[in-house]
């Protein structure tokens, strides 16, 4: 990884921590897949855009309805638990 790419990732992580009021280091708890039968959804202010069959990194199980996740483009957001499948 180049120095420039590393700095960009650090900046994205700091923005995530500020936006979601997340304290501490970012640790991936597990990976889950978006249900292939789910409808694709656009992201909102704090919601992550979803693509069928996409593998997401789970950062935090926030409540019974949502999970805080990161996608392959290092974007963060909430995802409904109803559309997530364990790997």
Domain residue spans of the chain? 23-86
Report pLDDT for 59: 92
Distance, CA of 25 to CA of 7 (rounded, Å)? 16
**Quick one: pLDDT at residue 40?**
76
Distance from C-alpha of 8 to C-alpha of 13, rounded to nearest angstrom: 9
Q: What is the pLDDT of residue 1?
A: 67
pLDDT in tens, 4-60: 888 888 888 888 889 888 888 889 999 999 999 888 777 778 899 888 899 999 999
Homologous superfamily assigned to 23-86: SH3 Domains (2.30.30.40)
pLDDT of residue 61 exceeding 70, the answer is yes
What confidence score (pLDDT) does residue 38 get?
83
- Model-level pTM greater than 0.85? no
Count, residues in the chain: 87
């Amino acid at each position: 990884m180049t120095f420039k790419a590393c700095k960009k990732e650090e900046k994205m992580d700091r923005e995530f921590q500020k936006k979601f009021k997340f304290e501490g280091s970012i640790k991936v708890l597990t990976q889950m897949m978006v249900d292939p039968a789910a409808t694709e959804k656009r992201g909102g202010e704090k919601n992550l855009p979803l693509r069928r069959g996409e593998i997401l990194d789970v950062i935090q199980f926030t409540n019974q309805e949502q999970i805080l996740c990161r996608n392959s483009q290092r974007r963060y957001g909430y995802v409904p638990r109803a559309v997530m499948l364990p790997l």
